[in-house]
Every structure is written in structure tokens, then in C-alpha cells.
Amino acid sequence: MPLIRLLPYAVCLLALSGIAACGSADAPPPGRNATATVVTSLDVTVTGTTVTPAPAQVDLRIGEALDLTVTTDHDDELHAHGFGDVEAELKAGVPTTVRLVGTESGVFEVETHEPALTLLTVAVR
């Protein structure tokens, strides 16, 4: 499949965006005051039951962070396991950003509830 061939490039772009964001002076999103040495950003869109980009694994080291921005076409709730069980209310058409900081090793799912969709997994090592 052509999309499978693009996955390595998407992972590289994701890694490069994390390196570029490392020196950023931007404050963390409201309610997320955790500090991280490296910050990676990822935008996810949910349309009906379709997640774009397709669910994949994001790798973080302990102390690194992922700024995840989710936009849905319907009201929903985001839940991130393994990060103090972060939850965020998602409003249709409104981008919502959460900062997930790797504080313990493991592989954790980030999901929505209505419908139950896996947006990505985060591997913290």
C-alpha cells in the first residue's frame, strides 16, 4: 500500500519537528505545567471513525513531551493512559491541545470515547 511506504517519512518529519521545537519558548498548553527537555508536536484529526494520520506509535524518552492537538467533527472526550490519566473535552471543530510528558516507561494508548477510537500509542523508554 502506498500509505505504508510514507510511514517512515512521517516518522522522520515528526522527529525533526521535535528537534525544531526543542528550543521553543512557548508555554505549555493551559493546565499542563510539566516541563520537558524535548517537545514533539503531532496534529490528529478525527472525522467520523477515521483517524488522520492513521494510528501509529510515537516514541518518547523519559522527560520528553508530546504536544498532541486533536480536532474532531463531533463532541467527544480524549483519554491518555499512563500520563496521570489525562482527559480533555473535545468540541467539534475546535483544536484541543494536551501535553503528554513521559514520566514512566511503558506503552500507552491515547483514545477517544464516542466512538471508542485509538488515536495513537506512546512508547516511553
pLDDT at 13 over 80: no
Per-residue pLDDT reduced to its tens digit, 53-102: 999 999 999 999 999 999 999 999 999 999 987 999 999 999 999 999 99
Cell of 29: 498548553
pLDDT-derived band at 36, boundaries 50, 70, 90: low
DSSP tag of 103: -
What's residue 108's pLDDT?
A: 97
Measured in degrees and rounded to the nearest 5, phi and psi for residue 30 equal: -50, 135
Residue among 107, 15, 3, 8 at smallest CA distance from 50: 3
pTM: 0.70
Per-residue pLDDT reduced to its tens digit, 100-120: 999 999 999 999 999 999 999
What's residue 37's pLDDT?
A: 73
Cβ atoms of residues 100 and 44 within 8 Å: no
DSSP tag of 112: E
What's residue 85's pLDDT?
A: 77
What's residue 64's pLDDT?
A: 96
Residues forming beta bridges with residue 96, ordered by sequence position: 70
